[in-house]
Structure 1
Amino acid sequence: MTTTTPSKRTGGRSAAVIHSVRTAVEELVREKGPERVTVPMVAERAGVNPTSIYRRWGDLPTLINDIATYHLDPERPLADRGDLRADLTDWARDIVAHFRKPVNAALLRGGASAAGERTSDCLRNRRTEAGMLLARHPETSVTEDDVMDVVIAPIVYRVIFQPWMLDDSTADDVVARLFQPGAGSGLGSDEPASAE
């Protein structure tokens, strides 16, 4: 008699567990802060066994990092207005709006401290999105590193250290800096670098 291993379901009970765990983490972080949340607390709030959390995420830092990036889904549609500066501004506004919510800011802080020597999923996903936006404009000399250093880094810095400075003008200001003449390697121009 042959036996087959059932395929892993993405819906049903598994999806319900993931949803309840994510909700529990968000609630607990909002109530207590990420540094005071534990796996047993999350399990109790979510109504699941702690082993289910360890089996899926491995540890609390990985869980927090996953939740920190969950709402900013890298598969979501990105602005496409036909102009790189406009697209980057819309994208940055989306990121700022997301992290102006205290629970999302707390999750980012927890995810950043949990990442250790690894690049956090949040930063990896933002770099991927920057690459997608830049790929639409092959004529630009702006690079992914430029976008990360001039647009994303100041936003993340404010989220972690100066949340009161994250306001309606933040996205427009950081993207404007990206296009200032002489702002850095390849910055300040949408023109392609001349070939030697």
Structure 2
Amino acid sequence: MSAPVRRPGGRSAAVLTSIRYAVEELVRERGAEKVTIPLVAERAGVNPTSVYRRWGDAATMLNDIATYRLDPERELPHTGDLRADLITWAREIVEHYRKPINAALLRSGSASAGEEETECLRNRRTEGLAIVGEPAALSADELIDGLIGPLVYRVIYLPWTLDDELPVRLVDKLLRA
């Protein structure tokens, strides 16, 4: 007798999708600070233990949901022109967080992140190092401090300043440093 073949996605993917939609709807309706795991589970039509098992708490869930569209497995820019690649990457991040729901989720997830590095930060660090390549022209900390930090700061505190030229200005400043 052969082992059962696992379907890619399947029920767990459907559950995850329904949870993500539920979180987004609830944040739009009530604000991120009022989203709880029991509310999400009820809206998604799943048992709260399914949500707790994956995330543990609402802050972790919100942070993860905020970043899921920036899939860490997606194709990253790799043209051989570091400046162009960093600008393309930063523009993708800006476009993602110009969407009010993504910004709201980032704000709520970041506010309660504590002292642990968030999944969002880990993913951006990994992506940045993949873009700069080996030998690294910039360190992960230089990328975070010079590019990601200012972008996230503006998403949280100055969202109206997320213009199309911001990535160009930040990348040029980073590369001059």
| TM-score, normalised with respect to structure 1 | 0.83
Aligned pair partner of 1:108 in 106, 109, 116: 106
Offset of residue 114 of structure 1: 2.6
Counterpart of 1:149 in structure 2 is 145
Aligned pair partner of 2:171 in 175, 179, 188: 175
TM-superposition CA deviations, 1:83-119 (whole Å, max 9, x none): 1001000000000000000000011111112311111
Count of aligned positions = 175
Decide whether aligned partners of structure 1 residues 171 and 60 sit closer, same or farther in structure 2, where only a CA change above 3 A counts: same
TM-superposition CA deviations, 1:122-156 (whole Å, max 9, x none): 111100011101115x3x64222111111111000
Offset of residue 11 of structure 1: 2.6
Aligned pair partner of 2:75 in 67, 74, 77: 77
1:134–1:144 contact (8 Å) kept in structure 2? no
Counterpart of 1:123 in structure 2 is 121
Decide whether aligned partners of structure 1 residues 7 and 53 sit closer, same or farther in structure 2, where only a CA change above 3 A counts: farther
TM-superposition CA deviations, 1:11-33 (whole Å, max 9, x none): 32211111100110011112222
The one-letter code of the counterpart of 1:40 is: P
1:87 lines up with 2:98 in the alignment: no
Offset of residue 8 of structure 1: 7.6
Counterpart of 2:156 in structure 1 is 160
Offset of residue 56 of structure 1: 2.2
Unpaired runs of 5+ in structure 2?
none
1:64–1:114 contact (8 Å) kept in structure 2? no
Query: Bigger CA drift: 105-114 or 91-100?
Result: 105-114
Counterpart of 2:48 in structure 1 is 50
More helix by percentage: 2
**Bigger Cα Rg:** 1
Give the Cα separation in 2 of the matches to 1:59 and 1:97: 28
| TM-score, normalised with respect to structure 2 | 0.91
Query: Bigger CA drift: 96-105 or 36-45?
Result: 36-45
Counterpart of 1:33 in structure 2 is 31
Give the 4+ runs in structure 1 shifted more than 4 A: 5-10
